[in-house]
């Protein structure tokens, strides 16, 4: 009787040991399965703010988010558009975000003001600025006339051109609407070839090639949109920054190959952000943005900041007293690469 009791006790003990081992094994497997998620949780979210409201100008970043390219790189990205009370510029200067898009001239001005920046991805290879005449003239023949320009930045090259060419434009500042131009209250307007230019065409205004001055066709062809970070923020988050740049480039490459699907994604973001626009305008914008991404010399999308264009932009801004100091190419890039 004692022997049977001993055997039963031994079986219970062995069963308990096996259960304990099994629990440890299950726990170990569960931890292994959770490692990718835990690794993602251990990283802070990478906050990216485009410099303007939701539109096809930023299609590649929306694609990278929707197609999971950021997740494939192991980063958790928040795309947060600027608000009426806080611009992308102020957010990057105040260290409230990780990265933003800036035009090259904007970046040079920020660096000149004492905030070091680093370019982690360059999308634009050509200048999108145009000056559109309201009087059926060549804008270069409109000396001293009233020309509309944004209250915000983005018009530095236009101001440099006016001064360098001796045009003496009288600048009339506007927010984002173009009623002054449409109603004939001004003689010409500075616009983006992928945005306001097409908005004007949609109003029914007839424009001839000789009435549109395209900066990229002259000696003012400097790059525009690129992704920038404060250098101190980049130094703390190099791995995340590099992953963000790789995934974003992949997003733009996918967008170029799948324009219609990209437009679906763009319109999703437009609706989420309550932007008044239409698919036709966004298609025109996407086509033009992608065209401007192709380097004229190589015929390729190179996604790189060009040293010669940085030098040209810095020289023009210095010459016209927009900058106090020269900003060099090496000051804007990661010297380790």
What local confidence, expressed as pLDDT, does residue 3 receive? 45
H helix intervals, 168-306: 179-182, 196-202, 231-236, 238-257, 259-272, 279-292
Give whichever of 33-42, 147-156, 254-263, 318-327 has the largest mean pLDDT.
Answer: 254-263
What local confidence, expressed as pLDDT, does residue 177 receive? 73
| Residue of higher predicted confidence among 27 and 285 | 285
| Residue of higher predicted confidence among 117 and 94 | 117
What local confidence, expressed as pLDDT, does residue 92 receive? 62
Helix (H) or strand (E) holding 62: helix 59-66
Name the pLDDT band for 26 (thresholds 50, 70, 90).
very low
| Residue of higher predicted confidence among 37 and 196 | 196
Q: 180-221 pLDDT, tens per residue? A: 888 889 999 999 999 999 999 988 888 899 999 999 999 999
The lowest-confidence range among 66-75, 86-95, 123-132, 259-268 is: 86-95
| Average confidence (pLDDT) over 263-292 | 96
What local confidence, expressed as pLDDT, does residue 151 receive? 82
The lowest-confidence range among 12-16, 46-50, 323-327 is: 12-16
Q: What is the SS3 assignment for 23-35?
A: HHHHHHHHHHHHH
Q: Let me know the angle formed at the C-alpha of 301 by 211 and 120, rounded to the nearest 5 degrees.
A: 105
* Cα 130 → chain centroid: 20
Is pLDDT above 70 for 259? yes
| Residue of higher predicted confidence among 9 and 204 | 204
Is pLDDT above 50 for 283? yes
Are 293 and 125 a contacting pair, CB within 8 Å? yes
Which CATH superfamily hosts domain 46-126+223-319? Periplasmic binding protein-like II (3.40.190.10)
Q: Could you tell me what percent of the chain has a pLDDT over 70?
A: 82
Q: Structural domain boundaries of the chain?
A: 46-126+223-319, 129-217
What local confidence, expressed as pLDDT, does residue 12 receive? 45
| Average confidence (pLDDT) over 136-164 | 90
Question: Model-level pTM?
Answer: 0.84
CATH of domain 129-217: 3.40.190.10
What local confidence, expressed as pLDDT, does residue 284 receive? 97
The lowest-confidence range among 41-50, 289-298, 320-329 is: 41-50
Which of 128-164 are b and which e, b meaning 16 or more Cβ less than 10 Å from the residue's Cβ?
bbbbbbbeeeebeebeebbbbbbeeebbbbbbbbbbe
Name the pLDDT band for 84 (thresholds 50, 70, 90).
low
Which of 223-245 are b and which e, b meaning 16 or more Cβ less than 10 Å from the residue's Cβ?
bbbbbbbbbebbeebeebbbbbb
| Residue of higher predicted confidence among 6 and 19 | 19
* Cα 157 → chain centroid: 19
What local confidence, expressed as pLDDT, does residue 335 receive? 72
């Amino acid at each position: 009787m004692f022997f049977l009791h001993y055997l039963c006790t031994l079986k219970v003990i062995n069963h308990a040991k096996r259960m304990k081992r099994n629990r440890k094994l299950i726990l170990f497997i569960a931890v292994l399965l959770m490692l990718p998620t835990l690794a993602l949780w251990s990283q802070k979210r990478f906050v990216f703010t485009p410099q303007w409201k939701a539109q096809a100008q930023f299609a590649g970043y929306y694609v990278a988010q929707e197609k999971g390219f950021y997740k494939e790189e192991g980063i958790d990205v928040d795309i947060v558009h600027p608000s009426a009370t806080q611009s992308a510029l102020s957010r990057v200067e105040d260290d409230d975000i990780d990265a933003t898009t800036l035009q090259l001239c904007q970046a040079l001005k920020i660096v000149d003001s004492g905030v070091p920046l680093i370019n982690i991805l360059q999308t634009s290879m050509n200048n999108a600025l145009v000056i559109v005449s309201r009087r059926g003239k060549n804008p270069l023949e409109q000396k001293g006339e009233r020309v509309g320009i944004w209250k915000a930045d983005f018009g530095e090259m236009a101001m440099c051109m006016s001064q360098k060419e001796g045009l003496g434009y009288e600048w009339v500042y506007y927010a984002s609407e173009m009623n002054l131009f449409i109603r004939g209250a001004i003689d010409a307007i500075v616009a983006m070839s992928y945005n306001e230019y097409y908005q004007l065409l949609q109003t029914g205004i007839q424009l001839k090639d000789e009435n549109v001055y395209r900066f990229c066709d002259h000696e003012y062809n400097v790059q525009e949109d690129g992704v920038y970070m404060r250098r101190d923020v980049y130094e703390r988050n190099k791995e995340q920054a590099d992953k963000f740049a790789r995934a974003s480039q992949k997003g733009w490459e996918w967008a170029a190959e799948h324009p219609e699907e990209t437009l679906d994604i763009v319109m999703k973001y437009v609706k989420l952000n309550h932007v008044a626009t239409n698919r036709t305008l966004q298609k025109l914008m996407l086509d033009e943005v992608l065209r401007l991404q192709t380097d004229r010399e190589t015929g390729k999308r190179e996604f790189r900041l060009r040293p010669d264009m940085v030098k040209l932009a810095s020289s023009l801004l210095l010459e016209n007293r927009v900058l106090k100091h020269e900003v060099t190419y090496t000051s804007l890039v990661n010297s380790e690469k």
